[in-house]
Amino acid sequence: MNYKNAWIYGEDFTFHKGGFTVANGIFTSMEEKDDAVDLHESYVIPGLIDIHFHGNSGFDFSTGGLEGLHRIASYLAEHGITSFAPASMTLPEETLKKAYEHAVQFRNRQPEGLARLMGINMEGPFFSHEKKGAQAEEHLILPDYDMFLRLNQAADGLIKVVCIAPELSGALEFIKKAKDICTVSLAHSTADYETAKKGFEAGATQVTHLFNAMPPFLHRAPGIVGAARDAEQVSVELICDGAHLHESVIRAAFAMFTAHRIILVSDSLSACGMPEGVYESGGQKIYMKNGAAVLEDGITFAGSTKDLFECMQMAVSFGIRPEDAIRAATINPARALGVQDRVGSISSGKQADFLICDKEFRLRECYIGGTLVS
């Protein structure tokens, strides 16, 4: 299929007027042809990639089974997220193993018209008790590399991100080994600047939901935030849902780290896309009220109720350049998963996952492998 007269988001992170061709689910040409579908100057951007979320539509990845994955992936496709890496929670090894096996089954089948499962984000159980957030405290353990290997085997190598608190006993040794298998991300931690710096020197290259579940960025105690800023190889996740971070902090983060190093994530829960009520995440009850999802204490955020496309739109509404917000929701997460050669940008040879948006960046159509999501 040939398309023309569009503003296409290029690999140089700017928009260019032109066209493109899709054949057999792949972008084959970036040339404009006369016999093409006229997109009437719509914006064409890569399909979004969410590397940190737990569920939607009433289903949680960790406990929702294969049926849950189908519904989750369907919702994502309907909302412009064409690739994803669901995040597991702090749960017993056997529970995680079952969830990962379901992920393998889904990946192998890859149902048509649904978002692509490109990996797993292992969020927990190697976290600090003090900064556990909505993670189940009774299942927190010290870093266990053998357990990680067993789970990655059950996942057929799908673990693409593993999260860890660097101050824990054995954490640095774990990072040094795990970095050769997947991205290692510092998370749910009490680490100070020096400890976080050691984690990055050991091989961690990412920070999970920057500013959340970690010490604050202070002028004499910069903590993980400051250490990440100084480590140029490190990327950072931002939850841009309007609740986890103030809009000024979003602008400050983009200024500190630049769009090259920021990964927008939703951290969405099973409550995403659902009415207010009581839901489940990682074996715990979560309460959705007034658009926020909290634990029973009514204070602790359990995650987000917005999807990644909404988060990208919100970043733009906060003053982030659309080109930068798109970059942070497409190629940057693709790199974190190690799949940037397949998805994350619009270029010849890559999978034809793309979105057609209006001039206000509202989603009009979503294509996965060149096929319109109905």
Question: What are 278-282's contacts with CB under 8 Å, separation 24+?
Answer: 279/58, 279/60, 280/60, 280/63, 281/54, 281/55, 281/60, 281/62, 281/89, 281/134, 282/54, 282/60, 282/62, 282/63, 282/88, 282/89, 282/90, 282/91, 282/134, 282/135, 282/136
- For residue range 12-35, list pLDDT tens digits in order: 999 999 999 999 999 999 999 989
79 is in an annotated binding site: no
Please give the model's pTM, rounded to 2 decimal places. 0.96
**Which is nearest to 345 in space by CA: 4, 83, 110?**
83
Q: What is the pLDDT of residue 83?
A: 98
Q: What is the pLDDT of residue 95?
A: 97
Q: What is the pLDDT of residue 292?
A: 81
Q: Concatenated DSSP letters for 142-171? A: ---HHHHHHHHHHTTT-EEEEEE-TTSTTH
**Residues marked as catalytic:** 267
209 is in an annotated binding site: yes
The CA radius of gyration of the chain, in Å to the nearest whole number, is: 20
Q: What is the pLDDT of residue 286?
A: 86
Q: Give pLDDT < 70 ranges for the chain.
A: none
Q: What is the pLDDT of residue 302?
A: 81
**Which is nearest to 224 in space by CA: 163, 159, 160?**
163
260 is in an annotated binding site: no
Q: What is the pLDDT of residue 231?
A: 98
